[in-house]
Structure 1
Amino acid sequence: MRLFILGLGYSAGHFVRKFGGAFSHVAGTVRDPAKRNDLAGIEVHAFSGSRPGDATLERISEADVLLVSIPPGNGGDPAIAAFADVLAERRRKIIYLSTIGVYGDHGGAWVDESTPPQAAFERTRLRLAAEQAWTNNGSGHVAILRLAGIYGPGRNALVTLRAGTARRIVKPGQVFNRIHADDIASAIMAAILHGRGGTWNVCDDEPAPPQDVIAYAAQLMGVAPPPEEAFETAEMSAMARSFYASSARVSNAKLKCEFGVTLAYPTYREALDALWRAGEGR
C-alpha cells in the first residue's frame, strides 16, 4: 500500500512512527518543510491551501490510502478544494480525522455515532460540512474518525504541570473525553484494514472531569496540584471557555465491536502511569 497524508501533524506523525512500515511508500504535506526536522523517511510536500505542485498531485493520484488531518477553514476544506479532481480519478481508502466536538452539549449524558450532531459553533458547522464533503468526494471507502481530546508523548498533564501551565478549572458536571496518540494510531490502522466506510468515535473508556486528570498527574509527580478555580470566575480566552460549553460522555463501543480495537490506554491513569515511567514531566 502507498500512503499519502494530508497534514503531517501530531496524530498523523505518531501513526507513521508506529505503522509506517506497513506501507511501501509514505508521503505527506506540511505547511513549510523547512521548519520540520521530525519527518525522516517521509517524502514531504509543501501545501498551505494554495495550488498544489504537480509532484504532490502525482503522489496523491498514486496513493492507495489517503489520511486527512487538515482542519477546515472559513472557506471550507482546503484539501477538497485543491485535490477534488485527483480524488475522483480512482478508488482508494480515505481516513478523515474529525472531532467528537460535533456532538455538542448533552449535559454529561452518553452519546454515540447515532446521536445527531449539533452545529452550535461555526467551527462545528465547518467540521460537519468537511465530513460530508469527504464522504461525497472520496471515490472509495471513506472512514470518518471522530477523535476525542488528543494527548500522548510531549502533550499531556505531566508536561503542563512541569511547565507550570496546568490549571484545575472546575465546572460542576463537566466531563471531557480523551484519547492517547497510540490508540489513535491503532484506530487509523484498523480503519484502513476495515472493509467499508462509515463513522466511528475514537475515545477511551472513561470521560472524566479535567481537574481530576491534573490531580492524578500531580500525585504521580509528588507535587501539589494547582488550586481549583471556579469556571464562572476563571480568566480564560473565549476559545478556551467555549470548550466548556459542551459536556457529553462519548461511547467507543462501535470502535471496539466493528474494528476489534483493544485500547492500550483505556483511561488516563494507565496512560499517565506509562508516560511518567517513560520520563515525561521530569
Structure 2
Amino acid sequence: MPVLFCFGLGFSARALAARLQAPAGARPPGWGIVGTCRSLEKAAACAAKGWDMHVFDGTAPLADPSVLAPATHILVSVPADEDGDAVLRLHGADIAGLPNLKWLGYLSTTGVYGDRGGAWVDETSDLRPTQPRSIRRAAAEAGWLALHRDHGVPVHVFRLAGIYGPGRSQLDSLREGRARRMVKPGQVFCRIHVDDIAAVLQASMARPDPGAIYNVADDEPAPPQDVVAYAADLLGLPLPPETPYDESALTPMQASFYGDNRRVRNGRNKTELGVTLRYPTYREGLRALLSSS
C-alpha cells in the first residue's frame, strides 16, 4: 500500500489526503496517510479522520523519526521561517535515506517571481522575490532541489498561487462583512482552487519527474475587485463600494501582496501532467463553493 507522509497537514495537504484515501472497506484499500500538526490538539482532530498523526512544530525533530520509514510519497507544506526550512534542516538526511521513496512534493509560492508589473511568468522565469516570506521560499526551493541533485531524492516543486476553497473565499468574506473593493489600477492576482491543487499533485505522483517545477494557478489572473463583485452577485448581497488603493489602510501583510503584480502561466500542468482544471477561473470555483455551502 502506498503511504503519503505530509509534513504539515494543512488546507492543501488535507485536500490531497482526502482525494487519495479510499472509503472504509474499499478494495483496494487506498493510501495510508501519515501527517504532522504543530500541536497535540490539531493532531487529534486530524487523527479522527483515520490518519496517523504526529507533532512537528519545526523546533525539534519528530519524536520518532522511524515513522518516516514506510513513506513512498512525501508532501512538504511547512513554510520556511527565519532559520530556513525546518523539515529540510531536521529531516533532510532521514529523507535522503528512505529506501522506498518515489516522490516528494514541496509546496512553494508564485511569490518567488516577485513583482513583474503585471507581465507573464512561467517556470523558466528567473526568481526575483522581494517579500521576506518569498525570499525564504526561494531559498527552501534551492535546498530541496539540491537534495535531489546531490542525493537523488525525487523532489518536485509546486509554486502555488493564492489558494481558495471551502470556508476560504470571497463568499465567506462577504458573508462576514470583511470584503473590500480596493482598486489599484493594473493590479491582478492569480488564484487556484484547493481541489485543483490536489489534482495537480496527484497527477505528478502518477508521473514522477524528479527536479521538475510546476506553477499551480488557474487560467485567469484577475483584479481583486472583480472577484468581490462576482461573489456579491452570486450571493445577492450589496456590492461593497470601490475605494482607491491606500497602503496605509491595509495591514502590512495585505500591503505586501499588493506590492507584487504578475500573471502566472500554468501550461506545464496541462502539457506534462495532463491536468484539466476543474475550476479554470474564479467564476467556476465560486459557483461550485456556493452550491456546496
> Which of the five TM-score ranges fits, normalised by the shorter chain?
over 0.9
Instruction: Give unpaired runs (5+ residues) of structure 2.
Output: 23-28
2:192 pairs, out of 163, 166, 179, with 179
- Letter of the structure 1 residue corresponding to residue 274 of structure 2: G
Specify the SS of the correspondent of 1:131: helix
Aligned to 2:252: 238
2:122 pairs, out of 112, 115, 124, with 112
Aligned residues of 1:135 and 1:142 also touching (Cα < 8 A): yes
Percent identity of the aligned residues? 44
Inter-partner Cα distance in structure 1 for 2:90 and 2:45: 26
Superposed CA offset, 1:227-263 (max 9, x none) = 1121136611122111111111100111111000010
Aligned to 1:86: 94
Aligned to 2:26: none
Aligned to 1:49: 58
Aligned residues of 1:186 and 1:261 also touching (Cα < 8 A): yes
- Letter of the structure 1 residue corresponding to residue 260 of structure 2: S
Aligned to 2:143: 133
Shift of 1:50: 2.7
Specify the SS of the correspondent of 2:21: helix
Inter-partner Cα distance in structure 1 for 2:46 and 2:5: 17
- Letter of the structure 1 residue corresponding to residue 279 of structure 2: Y
* 1:161 partnered with 2:168: no
Aligned residues of 1:73 and 1:126 also touching (Cα < 8 A): yes
TM-score scaled by length of structure 1: 0.94
Shift of 1:54: 4.4
- Letter of the structure 2 residue corresponding to residue 51 of structure 1: A
Structure 2 CA distance for partners of 1:58 and 1:233, relative to 1, 3 Å: closer
Specify the SS of the correspondent of 1:62: coil
Specify the SS of the correspondent of 1:166: coil
Inter-partner Cα distance in structure 1 for 2:247 and 2:57: 38
Structure 2 CA distance for partners of 1:100 and 1:51, relative to 1, 3 Å: same
Shift of 1:23: 4.4
Inter-partner Cα distance in structure 1 for 2:248 and 2:130: 23
- Letter of the structure 1 residue corresponding to residue 218 of structure 2: D
Shift of 1:15: 1.1
Q: Which deviates further from its counterpart, 29-38 or 104-113?
A: 29-38
Inter-partner Cα distance in structure 2 for 1:23 and 1:244: 42
For 1:88-103, what aligned pairs fall within 5 Å after superposition?
Answer: 88-90=96-98, 92=101, 93-103=103-113
Inter-partner Cα distance in structure 2 for 1:81 and 1:144: 17
Shift of 1:25: 1.5
Instruction: Give unpaired runs (5+ residues) of structure 1.
Output: none
